[in-house]
Amino acid sequence: MSADHILTEQVFKAAEGIDLTEAEIGHLRGCADCREVLSVLTRHNRLRLQKLAVGSLRDHLPIAEIWGHARGSDIDGVYQNHLGKCDQCTDVLAFCRVSTSLRQVIQMLKDRGLKIE
């Protein structure tokens, strides 16, 4: 854990159900930014499971998928197809590539009044 926030990788794991340390839990209780990132990633996991069950994509890519793709992770064909057609998701991907944290991306999306998936 950094002095300011829980590492994004740890928050990803927590959203998937892996336990945080006591220090991380204590930090989470007092840090609205980390709670928001955890909330976004938890929603992402729920949406990902729904997409797998239905086999389609309703709206835009979840921010966690875009963040991971900007960091070199592969995305599946449904997401890749959407990314090739959606200027908004492509813009978010470009911002993720130059951002230093997922918190920064979430704040940018909120500042622009965009819905965070």
Instruction: Identify the weakest region by mean pLDDT among 45-54, 56-65, 68-77, 93-102.
Output: 45-54
Residue type present at position 45 = N
Whether residue 106 contacts residue 36, with contact meaning beta carbons closer than 8 Å, is answered with: yes
CA atoms within 13 A on the CB side of 12: 10
The single-letter DSSP state of residue 17 is T
Q: Distance between CA 91 and CA 70 in Å, rounded? A: 11
Q: Would you state the pLDDT for residue 52?
A: 56
pLDDT in tens, 37-58: 888 888 877 776 666 555 555 6
Whether residue 103 contacts residue 109, with contact meaning beta carbons closer than 8 Å, is answered with: no
Whether residue 73 contacts residue 47, with contact meaning beta carbons closer than 8 Å, is answered with: no
Whether residue 98 contacts residue 28, with contact meaning beta carbons closer than 8 Å, is answered with: no
Question: What is the value of pTM for the model shown?
Answer: 0.59
